[in-house]
Amino acid sequence: MKLFYSLYTFIAFAGVATASIGVREQTVFASLSEPIREFRTLDLTSISSEQFTTFSHPGFPGRSARIKKSTFCDGGVNSYTGYIDVGAKHLFFYFFESRNDPDTDDVLLWTNGGPGGSSATGLFMELGPCNIASTNSTKYNPYSWNSNANIFFIDQPIGVGFSYHDFSDSPSSSEEAGLDVAAFSAIFFETFSKFKGRNFHLTGESYAGRYLPVYAAAIYDQNADLIAKGLTPINLKSIMIGNGATDFLYLMISYYDMQCTSAGIAPVQPISTCVRMKQTIPRCDKMYKAACVEHFDLIDCRAAFDFCQAELMMPYIEAGYNNYDMSMKCVTNQDCYPEQDDIAEYLNSASVRLELGVDSDFGNFTSVSYAVNGRFWASGDPLHQTQLYVAELLARGVKVLIYAGAYDFICNWVGNERWTLDMEWAGQAGFAGVPLREWLMDGNPAGKTRTNGNLTFATIYGAGHLVPHDKPNESLEMVKRWLADVPM
């Protein structure tokens, strides 16, 4: 499962560890509550395309930004690449201004999942301004999400993609990584100061179902420190999660529905297998809730997870269907998604890396860090309930969009719909009372949706795990409506 790396892996795989970059003196950055001594404004028009321009701010000791201008990927808009440096941590990003109106349009952050996946996948295969065309070229993407939004793609957590730590260290939980992303976001908006106060949306897919609620909470809570320092708070407007791994118990139980009913495609398992799976569900539910929810015990929770996985997920894998699109069978993921290998070769080109400003002694780019993946699984990060964060965000007025391609298996629409219905929040009864209805695009059904208050659930017909890749026009229309507060 190379493309999106196995979501269900406890082993820290060998290889793919990010190379250590020249060691720098480690800086312990001060609290955001320290008084501001002076301000500095960065003029984006003065940023060089030949080398990094470094930006620092007295309100963020130990943090800085290294930025270079670029015509990379979409020459029709202002674009930048670089690093946000937080002490010994260095988070790589790509930033593209809106094709519509960069001076007024919202700002989006995109991250892929994993844990351990580079957001280059989203950039070059899904929603970025360009798609990979070959190992040495890209092509214009007319359905990019920067059609009417400013968007940056971030390689996170530390150790993923082009991001690195001076001392070969990286987070092992979403809560740790969330502090880095909150710090990144604060210095980003101070650096690109013309975007301060804009509506800000966190977007992503797959393991971003775990990442984004945690990261949004860290960004929201950080605002109190920013305000205390006289800085502009981050205007967190929404989170948008595509085919998310937000609650693994709901996903595990939903695997019966996806294999034995017509929830995705026609049933793919023989009756005998479906009967066994159906009988297994109560035991899986009981074991998982006892060990992972009611009282979290990492060893017992892993045992419960392993049991559920063996009984409910493995029959699908053994049947040979694509984990990310049930309508496809693939010998390897590269058979279904050949772009993945092209992206890695493209980003390892010396000329491309020079254009991006990647540190010269960085090792090979890989689409997934199995070292990061292993650390997250070893800590049990995927096994915690993340909808608790979603409920708290909803209570504070943050909008939430949960969308899913109808053909995805691994993080399917059935499991995602169920946790949104069962989540305890002020609007639960109202949300559950709204029937699913079809949403239309150009008069044709594009999927189903349900909305109550600031929570929306939606499906996209004909799409798998990678909705912007599979249904680019429909995914862009969904985003446009979401940003404009237009019902789907």
Give the DSSP H or E segment for 327: strand 325-329
Rounded distance between C-alpha atoms, residue 24 and residue 21, angstroms? 9
Residue type, 422: D
Closest by Cα among 154, 54, 409, 77 to 265: 409
Residues 130 and 139: beta-carbon distance below 8 Å: yes
d(CA 271, CA 151): 47
d(CA 463, CA 26): 45
What is the rounded CA–CA span in Å between residue 232 and residue 386? Answer: 28
The total number of residues written for the chain in this structure: 488
444 DSSP β-pair partners: 441
**H or E segment and range at residue 356:** helix 350-356
Instruction: Identify residue 145 by its one-letter amino acid code.
Output: W
**Cβ 393 vs Cβ 41: under 8 Å:** no
Tokens (6 digits) for 446: 């594009």
Chain centroid offset of residue 250 CA:
19
Catalytic residues: 206, 408, 465
In angstroms, rounded to a whole number, what is the distance separating the alpha carbons of residues 322 and 316? 9
SS3 251: helix
Express the helix, strand and coil content of the chain in percent, nearest 5 each.
40, 20, 40
What single-letter amino acid sits at 343?
Answer: I
Give the contacts of 444 (CB within 8 A, at least 6 positions apart). Answer: none
What DSSP element (H or E) covers 123? Answer: helix 120-125
The single-letter DSSP state of residue 310 is I
Q: How far apart are CA 388 and CA 2, in angstroms?
A: 30
